[in-house]
Homo-oligomer: A and B are copies of this chain.
Amino acid sequence: ILKTPAKEKENIPDESAGGKRIPNGGNAAKTREDFELAAIYVSDAQYNRNIYFDTSPQAVRLYLLYHHWILKMLLYFFIVLNLSLAIFEEPAVLPLPTWATMLVELFCLLAFTLRMGHYAKVIPRDKFWKDPKNLCVIATLVLTLTDMVIYGALKAADCYGVRWSRVLRPLLLINVTEGRQLRRAFRSIRNALPQIFYVFLLFMFSILLFSLMALKLLGKRDLKTIDGKPYFTNYMDIVFDLYVLVTTANSPDVMMPAYNANVGFAIFFILYILINTYIFMSVFLAVVYNNYKKYLKEEVRQLVRAKRHKMVRAFAVLQEQREEGGQPVVTRNNWNQLIPLVQPNLCSARRQLIWSVCDDKNQGFLDKVAFIQLADLLNIEVIALKPRSHPFLNLFPNFYQSAPSRFVCKVVQHRGFVIAFDLIVLVNTVFIGLDEKNPLISNSEWVFLTLYLLEILLKLYVFEPRAFFSRHNFWNWFDTIIVVSALIATSVNSALGSSGEYTSLLRLVRVVDNIQRFRTIINTLIRIGPAIFTFGQLIVVVYYIFAMLGMEIFKNKVKFYDDSSDPDKQYCGNPLLKGTAFANLNYCKNNFNNVVSSFVLLVELTVVNQWHVLSSGFVTVTNVSARIFFVIFHITVVIIIINIFVAFVLEAFFLEYSDLQTSLEKKIEELNLAMEQERLDNSLVNAMETMDNNLGTEESPTPSRSSMVFKISSKRYRTVDALLQRIFEADLAPEDLPENDEAEAQNTGSFSNPTFGSGPA
């Protein structure tokens, strides 16, 4: 898109302001380079990219290249490759020789270094070295290289070596420029830590206090656990047992000896669970939730300011003085040249809509405040609905408008139609639960499929097919695909005479899909998908670190035997485990012997149940201090990360229920209503004959502006940032705008590149 900018003034890099351009103030005609620079600013603002690049022509070219999707994909490919090396390294799922993995790792390091070098060329040098995330990446690269050299040397000398730099690998995922969401999540956690820490201290004190009470109350009663061991006699063991009880993993077993001895002791445990499990865990959720929200709000505020700052810059490039001493503005003409550069595939109707929303006073130009909205407007997905008539109406107008046909349309559009099919679905559900081998039931499947097919055909008869299958009608597509594939699968099965392995699955999906209420819940779940993906990355980072540590500490201490005849299978190949719950429950495959088992084991520990049995297994094969590993994992993942996850889901659902409109969306709606009113007025004037006219012009290449209705695309957000901004919009000052240059420079200073290393304290 962009040609080399050749204008002289572009050649002076304005390093001090991080690439801020000082406009020449006059009404000189804007060059193509100006528009291109402005377009970069606008799309940076639109996608919340926060890089203060040089405005020199080379730097701008490099900057565009830096954001090229192929380079980004390559980067992620190398990150994933680097992380997945754990599969091939000792202890390996698929062992490869050390030189092979080392070679691949070297390639990865080279790729990261190149990417870093590229980034260094894009932004001013002093910015580069001030940014903690760059320093972190460089340190990771250097440390990894050092570790590889040492490890290689030790291997060559046949000594024992530890590849400790493997725990650093996920840091690359956090600290690449694109890992913004992930960095933000980590920063939120770090900022919430002090508050969590105090509650945690109190919580630990409570456990210590209860443990002491338990020791005094039960320690001298000579009770025995179910294994015949002394019960509640060692203080540190009691503390651990009661910590496990907080996670509920050993309830009610830990209580049983005392309860069997005297009913009254149950009061102690019930009180303990009430205070430590229910109240403290709720308080943890409250504290994590509250702090997470608070800091995220601060982050989003900075994000919005940075975005506005970018837009102010784009404005500065494009502005013109309408009259002497007046406010600088952006003219319609300049705007029309800018938009295709920002979003080439935007249809003219949408461009018109965006302009109407910005220029709501119909002045023909935009001032700064109006121009700044553009970035948010581009993020609102708007669907242009063209009122089209059904093709049957054109082909067989008499038939389609006859009384029976009209009756069918009325029936299909009636609420009862939906209810009737809900009932059919319910009956279908009952049939699915019944025995499949009964011929009556397997044949009934044909009836249901026919009914579902009939439903789709009827809908196609009533609604315009292109509208029905438009890109945004996800559920119609989904319905049809499910029914058609179920039809094909059932046909194939009955032709082959096989028992229909997976068709019932399709049928069940079909059932869920058909109930309207479910769709709204599923829509919400789909909408928070990207955010859940960020949590997925977060979890992978934490799991990876714990897996690497766990593999170093526990590898091959517990073995799994596929061959069930092996006598060692009884105790997972480790005599220490003989007779333990770990071996008795056949948990041998839950081990740290490779990265895949480690991840599965960590999931099991996250689920918490039986984690005391799992951890005690590893404590048995090493020593008591191994408990620390498992307790720290529990605190990190279950108390902090899972609570943040819950907080996020709660927040997203509350948003869904409250159904707030952003101010921009409101404007679009208003504009839309006005347009629809206009159309109505027109049609009233043109009276009846317009109907056929409109239907006739449907295929004409120039649809009249007034025949178009816009709809905001079912609130789906393109970016997580947009979702976050929406969550906190009510609390953000509507026009918190850096008004003068000094303020801008200050903001640039304090808000540039929020990174993992340097958030607000």
Contacts and interface: CB of A to CB of B under 8 A. Distances in A.
A119 interface: no
Interface stretch (A179-187, A207-215, A459-467): A207-215
Given A252-B607, A273-B603, A650 B286 contact: yes
Given A226-B585, A282-B650, A260 B212 contact: no
Interface in A241-285: 248-253, 255-256, 259-260, 263, 266, 270, 273, 277-279, 282-283, 285
A604 interface: yes
Given A199-B521, A216-B501, A277-B607, A290 B653 contact: yes
A199 B519 CA distance: 11
Interface in A203-230: 205-206, 208-209, 212-213, 216, 226
Interface string A638-666: 00001001100110011001000000000
A550 to B, nearest CB: 16
A202 B607 contact: no
A558 to B, nearest CB: 13
A263 B653 CA distance: 35
Given A504-B212, A600-B259, A198 B518 contact: yes
A70 interface: no
A259 B603 contact: no
A279 B536 CA distance: 13
B256 A586 contact: yes
A257 B590 CA distance: 12
A287 interface: yes
Given A290-B653, A433-B235, A642 B600 contact: no
Contact of A202 (B205, B509, B518, B586): B518
Contacts of A331: none
A739 to B, nearest CB: 30
> Copy number of this protein in the oligomer?
2
B511 A205 contact: yes
Nearest to A220: B501
A608 interface: yes
A646 B607 contact: no
A408 interface: no
A512 interface: yes
A103 interface: no
A679 interface: no
Interface in A416-434: 429, 432-433
A596 B525 CA distance: 43
Contacts of A212: 432, 504-505, 508
A609 interface: yes
A710 interface: no
Contacts of A248: 607-609
A589 interface: yes
Contacts of A657: 290
Contact of A649 (B202, B282, B518, B600): B282
